[in-house]
Amino acid sequence: MTDLPSLTHTILSKQTIDELYTISTHRAIINVEKEIKRRLISCDPELSIPVIDFLYKFYHDKIVKDQWFKSVYVREGLREAIECIPWKIGVIYNYTDQSYRINRVAIMVGKSTKFRTKQGKYYQPDWLNAEETKLMLREVISQYNHPINNVMSIITHDTNLDNSIRHALLDNDVVTITVCLFLPPQGSVFHSFPEEPPLPDSERKQMYPCHITAGNFSHKLIDYPGNILAYLPRNYDISIEKSDDLEKLFQLNSLVGNITK
């Protein structure tokens, strides 16, 4: 039998982080600290990032510093929130010929942002854009991202691998990504937008980030079937783009560690 949430939990879960702070100014309530932890470890950026932003902005405040930062629940939440950080590794390339031209390989860790082309423009992978630019994006992403679609995005469902990749990206500023080329079965083409007609120039190839190397960590990113793989791997040393909320989370963990020692 599933436990029903308490009335207090139900009420607190509907409050903004500012409202939770106001409650704490009147009385120290342990359920407020539990609610902060719940949001931090929710793996939902809509819940966790407002909390991270608030704690970072008001880390010097008496309630935040002397009450929340000394709470075992808040400390655990900040520490465990690192395991929810989303990551994505993508490659943008010209899909219309066999020149194997790659526009850009990119890695993003933290709050999800859009990929950029080599020219610095945000790339939105839709049917009309692809027809105009002749570019395509394919990506490998963590469990805590929203995929573009099930043709272009591969989710790493293996939790241990997801965490290993995450920590490899967090512990390094540059990692090596291998990009592999896939060709369709004889007489067919790929189709990235299932709800749209095939692209006029046809997708004659797919490229995916297929392997990562960072220090002593080395692992394949996708399971690639040998029967359609034209194994033309290329290695790229890629600088990792880390979001502001990630830097804030690290600094908060450092602050809390110093306060509670």
For residue 152, the Cα-to-chain-centroid distance in whole angstroms is 16
- What pTM did the predictor assign? 0.88
Residues 115 and 90: beta-carbon distance below 8 Å: yes
Question: Across the chain, what does the average pLDDT equal?
Answer: 89
Is pLDDT at 99 greater than 90 in this prediction? no
Contacts 24+ apart (CB under 8 A), 139-142: 139/88, 139/89, 139/90, 139/91, 139/115, 139/209, 140/88, 140/89, 140/90, 140/208, 140/209, 140/221, 140/222, 141/86, 141/87, 141/88, 141/89, 142/85, 142/86, 142/87, 142/88, 142/166
13 Rama sector, left if φ>0, alpha if ψ -120 to 50, beta otherwise = alpha
pLDDT of residue 112: 78
Please give the structure tokens belonging to residue 90: 């993508």
pLDDT band for position 233 (cuts 50, 70, 90)? confident
Pairing status of strand 87-94 against strand 102-109 = antiparallel
**Residue 3's pLDDT band (cuts 50, 70, 90):** very low
Buried-state track 146-167, b at ≥16 Cβ within 10 A, e below 16? eebeeebbbbbeeeeebebbbe
Q: DSSP 3-state assignment of 237?
A: strand
Which residue did the predictor score with more confidence, 24 or 230?
24
Structure token digits, residue 102: 């790659």
- Give per-residue pLDDT as tens, 108-167: 999 878 899 999 999 989 999 999 999 999 999 999 898 999 999 999 999 999 999 999
- In sign, the C-alpha dihedral spanning 134, 203, 109, 215 is negative
